[in-house]
Amino acid sequence: MNPGLIGGIIGGVAGIIGGVIGTYCSIKNTNGPKERNFIIKASLICWVMVSAFLVLLFVLPAPYKWMIWIPYCPLLVWGINASNRMQWKIREEEAKGK
């Protein structure tokens, strides 16, 4: 078997395991039910969007497969920032007892 293929498989599996552990820890470290529900939904959306990106990366022909990076990177950064802001807002609301 090709060493590059083996490395790709091991790297992919390690990435998925890391994502699962990160998702678990994010859900576990929430402070209240509203925050936990938000993190579950945000995690689900993130998993679906990243999976869709990877599917497109594998099925689209060149040069389109490289062009999907153009919207992916800014949208990923925006999504992370937006979810962090929302999580802090929910955390503050739950701390106040609302």
Q: With contact defined as beta carbons under 8 Å apart, do 44 and 83 qualify? A: no
Judged against a pLDDT cut of 70, whether residue 98 lies above it is answered with no
Please give the model's pTM, rounded to 2 decimal places. 0.85
**Residue ranges per domain, the chain?**
3-96
Specify the pLDDT at position 81.
97
Specify the pLDDT at position 78.
97
77 vs 98, which has greater pLDDT? 77
Tens-digit pLDDT profile for residues 48-83: 999 999 999 999 999 999 999 999 999 999 999 999
Angle at which helix 33-59 crosses helix 3-28, to 10 degrees, equals 160
The residues, ordered by sequence, that sit 6+ positions from 89 with a Cβ below 8 Å of its Cβ are: none
The structure tokens listed for 11 are: 């790297």
